[in-house]
Structure 1
Amino acid sequence: MKKLTLTSEALFDPQTAAPVRRRGNRESRVPEIIDVSINVLIAAGYAGYTINRVANDAGIRLSTLQHYFSTREALLRATIEEIANRYFERFRGFAENRSRSPQARLESIIDEAFTGFAKTGLLAGVIESWGLAQHEPFARDVAMEVQKRFTRLFAQLVGEINPELSMEERELRGALIVSSCEGLVIFLRWSEDDASRLHAFRKAVKVVWSGIGKAGE
């Protein structure tokens, strides 16, 4: 047998070397996994949700997924936090837009609720998160913390509309608006009303929220 010589060029020639699947880093892989996880939660519901399906739909091994999220609870926690955060950041963008009056900002959030809630499948993810919170303490803790964040956001906006209100009253009214917003999630998820009826309902919500913000103590 003739002597076989392999050069380093031959070993590492990109044209001849076998392709190697690159591992994603945390910055890119985690958001990808959470996106898939959201889709699984929406499609399968919290009762049918499994990390095996998330791994399969993401095209990765279960062990790879567990490198980033060791348990179903850890991944679900990150998933429902991300769902809430997407809505929160969108609402905060309107609430903190100082180029508009506080009242106009409040009304823009209502407009966003009607257009955003109605057009995105993420709404189903919100409802599934609430269903999970009925059965899993960790999900209930997340839901309560999310509710507090939204309450503070609206309380701050109410305070700008009506500066004479006490902090306690602002918090109360912020909570009232949050409860109304949560009702909108349910209403819009299954509403079969036509565009004209939804428009009228949107105007009515603006009247209600405006009254909550402007009324004296």
Structure 2
Amino acid sequence: MKKLTLTSAAIFDPRTATLARQRGNRESRVPEIIDVSINVLIAAGYAGYTINRVANDAGIRLSTLQHYFSTREALLRATIEEVAKRYFERFRGFAENRNRSPQARLEAIIDDAFAEFVKPGMPAAIFESWGLALHEPFARDVVVEIQKQFTRLFAKLVGEFNPALSMEERELRGALIVSSCQGLVIFLRWSEDNPSQLHAFRKAVKVVWSGLGKAEE
């Protein structure tokens, strides 16, 4: 590692202090802006979303926001990616837990999905992301790439269920699980919240997803 030397002149140089503050601001401010952006997307919907409102709700000037995200598209892209990342990281934490069997990991993902998708807030951001993707090509590209990431995650888990499956078959079954998961977002959004029915439905989903993993090619 190259030795780093700081002179007293550099330490007390105002330009050095300014650069340090800028780096610190970016590390803290960008996540804060994206959090506000997610909330605006949920509250106003993609049709009513504006960067002016994000700046206002974040308590910063529009010019300050544009220092980090120069356009509405750039901020929305980062927002959609962050929504997906939060769910992806949750699911990946379960999927890659080698202390549990593939069956247990898959069921843990389902249990988590049933708990998370009925919550207010974040699931609505998924709907708004999909709606935006129907109208704006950049959002469609982001959503398609996100779907590929989730498909690869589940395909890898399917391969642990059944190593004899070809890569193409794993990808296909991973895609089927993703489509089922997307359907859960919709189903749970409009379900009547009957605990016994949801419990039965969750058990059925576990049977279906496990079957996709275990079935021969």
Would you call these one fold, judging by a TM-score over 0.5? yes
| Aligned residue-pair number | 196
Q: Return the letter of the residue paired with 1:68.
A: Y
**Unmatched tracts of structure 2, length 5 or more:** 1-20
Specify the alignment match of 2:45 in structure 1: 45
If the length of structure 1 is used for normalisation, what is the TM-score?
0.89
Partners of 1:191 and 1:45 lie apart in 2 by 21
Partners of 2:212 and 2:124 lie apart in 1 by 28
Q: Does 1:103 align with 2:106?
A: no
Specify the alignment match of 1:209 in structure 2: 209
Mapping of 1:22-41 within 5 angstroms?
25-41=25-41
Partners of 1:193 and 1:44 lie apart in 2 by 25
- Poorly superposed stretches of 4+, deviation over 3 Å: none
Mapping of 1:1-217 within 5 angstroms?
25-217=25-217
Specify the alignment match of 2:4 in structure 1: none
Structure whose residues are more often helix by fraction: 2
- Deviation digits for residues 120-167 of structure 1, max 9, x if unmatched? 410000010000000000000000000000000000000000111011
Partners of 1:196 and 1:123 lie apart in 2 by 22
Q: Percent identity?
A: 85
State the SS of the aligned residue for 2:118: helix
- Deviation digits for residues 37-91 of structure 1, max 9, x if unmatched? 0000000000000000000000000000000000000000000000000000000
Give the deviation of 1:189 after TM superposition: 1.2
Give the deviation of 1:207 after TM superposition: 0.6
**Unmatched tracts of structure 1, length 5 or more:** 1-21
98 and 173 in structure 1: CA distance in 2 versus 1, 3 angstrom threshold: same
Give the deviation of 1:215 after TM superposition: 0.4
Q: Which moved more, 1:184-193 or 1:207-216?
A: 184-193
Give the deviation of 1:193 after TM superposition: 3.3
Partners of 1:190 and 1:30 lie apart in 2 by 33
> CA-atom RMSD, angstroms?
1.1
Partners of 1:121 and 1:37 lie apart in 2 by 12
Give the deviation of 1:116 after TM superposition: 1.1
Give the deviation of 1:119 after TM superposition: 2.1
